[in-house]
Amino acid sequence: GSQGTQDQQSQTSSQTGQSANQNSMSGKVSNNGKTFTNDKGQSYKVDNPDTLQNYDNQQVAVIVHVDPDTGALHIIQVQAPQQ
């Protein structure tokens, strides 16, 4: 069956089936990029702050993956606000 190769590819990511757990939110980046506070005032730790290094103290929209265990955000994409 050709299905076998499909299954193995999805197994390669360490968090199987987590890709559906993507959210978009807008909020403010901290001055070091290590935390993100959304519009509702919830603050999140960012596990890849280097992706936010150009957005210190800025209001941005982001597409994120929320780690279900730690609650940390993994930034997938940053969308700078329209000026």
Tens of pLDDT, residues 17-26: 445 679 999 9
- What are the distances in angstroms from CA 31 to CA 41, 42, 80? 16, 16, 16
Mean pLDDT value of segment 6-23: 53
Burial of 73 (0-12, 13-18, 19+ CB in 10 A): buried
- Residue 3: strand pairing partners: none
pLDDT band with cut points at 50, 70 and 90 for residue 14: very low
Q: What pLDDT, in 10s, does the model give residues 33-52?
A: 999 999 999 999 999 999 99
Q: Tell me which residue has tokens 């978009």.
A: 24
Q: How much helix, strand and coil, in percent to the nearest 5, is found in the chain?
A: 20, 35, 45
